[in-house]
């Protein structure tokens, strides 16, 4: 890592000052089986939270924290739908999720690590039939 740059700062009263250096390190997220199922559902086109819950069989207390962690790690991105669209359908606005390139790579690793994962969801994210 390159040494931090220092810019001289003139302080009028000659008092002390503190410099902070903030670095963002890439930390690989731990992909658990439920996280991998959510990533698989999003990659198959299941776009918003309630549908992800329905497709995966996971509860909201599991799905939404996973989605927040995935978004913070850059594996999914989200976008709120237009308020007018939701209002026309008389419901709250939905937050739509999409997998990123980094998320796709992690999902491929998860599919290798969890052999039964691909069979947990059917086509287009529908729950697989037993």
Q: Please state the domain extents for the chain.
A: 33-114
Token output for 96: 């739509």
Task: Provide the strand spans (E) within the chain.
Answer: 76-80, 95-99
CB within 8 Å of 72: residues ≥ 6 apart: none
Rounded distance, CA 55 to CA 130, Å?
Answer: 14
Global pTM value: 0.73
Give 99 or 5, the one with higher predicted confidence. 99
Which pLDDT value is given to residue 25?
53
Report the CATH number of the 33-114 domain. Answer: 1.10.10.10
Residue 127 CA: distances (Å) to CA of 53, 58, 59, 75, 108 = 10, 11, 14, 22, 20
Q: Could you report the per-residue pLDDT of 48-66, keeping only the tens digit for each?
A: 999 999 999 999 999 999 9
Q: Could you report the per-residue pLDDT of 84-117, keeping only the tens digit for each?
A: 999 999 999 999 999 999 999 999 999 999 989 9
pLDDT at 127 over 80: no
Rounded distance, CA 52 to CA 110, Å?
Answer: 18
């Amino acid at each position: 890592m390159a040494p931090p740059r220092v810019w001289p700062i003139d302080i009028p009263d000659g008092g002390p000052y503190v410099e902070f250096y903030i670095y963002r390190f890439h930390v690989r997220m731990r992909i658990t089986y439920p996280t991998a199922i959510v990533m698989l559902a999003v990659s198959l086109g299941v776009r918003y939270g309630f549908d992800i819950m329905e497709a995966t069989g996971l509860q909201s207390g599991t799905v939404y924290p996973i989605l927040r962690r995935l978004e913070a790690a850059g594996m999914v991105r989200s976008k709120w739908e237009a308020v007018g669209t939701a209002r026309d359908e008389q419901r709250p606005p939905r937050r739509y999720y999409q997998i990123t390139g980094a998320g796709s790579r992690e999902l491929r690793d998860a599919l290798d690590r969890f052999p039964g994962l691909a069979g947990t969801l059917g086509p287009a994210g529908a729950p697989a039939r037993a």
